[in-house]
Amino acid sequence: MHFFGGFFVVLVTLWLMFFIKIFNFTAFKSKKSLLFIGVLSALIVGLLWELFEYGVQSMTGVILATFIDSLSDIFFDLAGGMAAVLYVRDQLSKTTEASGNTLYYTQ
């Protein structure tokens, strides 16, 4: 679940930034910025989810997660985010190669 959650979060974040331009970010300047944005968005959402689990656990007394479980959840959030970054990078490379346009993605 966390792998696909991280994948989805990164896809939505990059879609909002790249296609909708909701954050006024019009172009990915490099592979590093794409990676940074993807990993950061997956990490933020993963950490917020773990804080939510901790809050529910402290309010109800039901043990939802242990420390190891939380670490593995965050790891899989990040792994899914990295997979989404690789997917988007591959799709952007195909698009720019086909059109001969490097406006949106450069090395």
Condensed to tens digits (0 to 9), the pLDDT of residues 6-32 reads: 999 999 998 888 777 666 555 556 778
Work out how many domains the chain is built from and give that number: 1
Assess if residue 106 is contained within a domain: no
Assess if residue 43 is contained within a domain: yes
Assess if residue 17 is contained within a domain: yes
Give yes or no for residue 81 having a pLDDT over 70: yes
Structural domain containing residue 14: 2-99
Assess if residue 105 is contained within a domain: no
Assess if residue 65 is contained within a domain: yes
Q: Are 38 and 10 in contact (CB under 8 A)?
A: yes
d(CA 18, CA 26): 6
Q: List beta partners, residue 28.
A: 105
Assess if residue 31 is contained within a domain: yes
- State residue 105's pLDDT score: 47
Geometric angle at alpha carbon 103, from 26 and 101, rounded to 5°? 145
The tens digit of pLDDT for each residue in 31-40 reads 788 888 889 9
d(CA 57, CA 69): 13
E strand intervals along 1-107: none
Task: Give percent above pLDDT 90 in the chain.
Answer: 52
Assess if residue 62 is contained within a domain: yes
Q: What is the mean pLDDT of residues 86-97?
A: 79
Q: What is the mean pLDDT of residues 85-94?
A: 85
pTM equals: 0.81
Assess if residue 10 is contained within a domain: yes
